[in-house]
Amino acid sequence: MKKKTTGKVISQKCLAPGIYDLVIETEIAKEAGAGQFVGVYTKDSSALLPRPISICGVSDDKKSIRLVYRVAGKGTAEFSGLKENDEVTLLGVLGNGYDIEALKKISSGGGNGVLLLGGGIGIPPMLELAKELKAAGVKVSSVMGYRDDKTFLLEEFKGFCDTYVASEDGSVGTKGNVLDAVRDKGISFDCICACGPLPMLRAIKEFAGDKPAFISLEERMACGVGACLGCVVKTKDIDHHSHVNNARICTDGPVFAASEVEI
């Protein structure tokens, strides 16, 4: 359900230069799942649109959500100053996330499980997905890709799955990108779930070949609720409602079967 609501900051810490870990008590937690996101409003009244940030975690008691974000501009810089007990206005929960039952079905056939690939600020949503898949009894492995040795969240993945790492500068794990690490380590999989920059997602779509791959498109967004068409992606099939080869990332996604979208 999409709803504007007020949350209360429980904690915020800096995980790496420019990367923040924000925990917010909010009723949105009751409905939030892996791959979905929230809109976070700034206090600046000239900026009407909320900033989309993925769900990185939902507390076991379903009372709080965790957002891990990189400071990219004015909005996220403001969020980095939030302190315990501050109020924050949220819109959510937004988007269609990962279908855990479908992933369970796909992976039960092959026995190799689901491979999670996260690049840069595409890493946070993969953590909640790893947690939910493990809870559903799905075999999971993950490869996370970083610029350098600032491997935020990496240790937490190890609690849920076999975890590998790639870094652009070679300071940790395989030198290169996540697919270099998959090849380097000979990781088998029945299905891929990925989030990261568009060139990474394009390469993953090609690499997956005939195997299913589900990608989270975190492109620029405006309204976040399907009203402005500011986030469309070309699709293979014609949309039944609009009769065009388009989907809105904010409402139809952000998670899509890679085979369905032209990226």
Ligand X SMILES: Cc1cc2nc3c(=O)[nH]c(=O)nc-3n(C[C@H](O)[C@H](O)[C@H](O)COP(=O)(O)OP(=O)(O)OC[C@H]3O[C@@H](n4cnc5c(N)ncnc54)[C@H](O)[C@@H]3O)c2cc1C
Summarize as ranges the residues that interact with ligand FES (CB under 6 A).
Answer: 221-224, 226-231, 248, 250
The nearer residue to ligand FES, 89 or 246, going by C-beta atoms, is 246
52 binds, among ligand X, ligand FES, none (CB under 5 to 8 A by kind): ligand X
**Which tokens hold the place of 248?**
């809105």
205: phi > 0 → left, psi -120 to 50 → alpha, else beta; which? alpha
72 binds, among ligand X, ligand FES, none (CB under 5 to 8 A by kind): ligand X
Residues that bind ligand X (CB under 6 A): 37, 51-54, 69-70, 72-76, 121, 124, 218-221, 254
Q: Classify 143 as helix, strand or coil.
A: strand
Minimum distance from residue 218 beta carbon to ligand X (Å): 4
Query: Tokens 């925990």 appear where?
Result: 23
The nearer residue to ligand FES, 242 or 259, going by C-beta atoms, is 242
Q: Classify 12 as helix, strand or coil.
A: strand
Minimum distance from residue 193 beta carbon to ligand X (Å): 15
CA distances from 82 to 27, 40, 77, 121, 181 (A): 19, 12, 10, 20, 36
CA distances from 117 to 81, 101, 205, 215, 218 (A): 30, 19, 12, 9, 14
Which residue is at the shortest CB distance from ligand X?
73
211 binds, among ligand FES, ligand X, none (CB under 5 to 8 A by kind): none
182 binds, among ligand FES, ligand X, none (CB under 5 to 8 A by kind): none
248 binds, among ligand FES, ligand X, none (CB under 5 to 8 A by kind): ligand FES
The nearer residue to ligand X, 25 or 78, going by C-beta atoms, is 78
Q: Which of 32, 54, 212, 41 is nearest to 118 (CA)?
A: 54
Minimum distance from residue 35 beta carbon to ligand FES (Å): 16
Minimum distance from residue 69 beta carbon to ligand FES (Å): 18
- d(CA 62, CA 27) in angstroms, rounded, equals 8
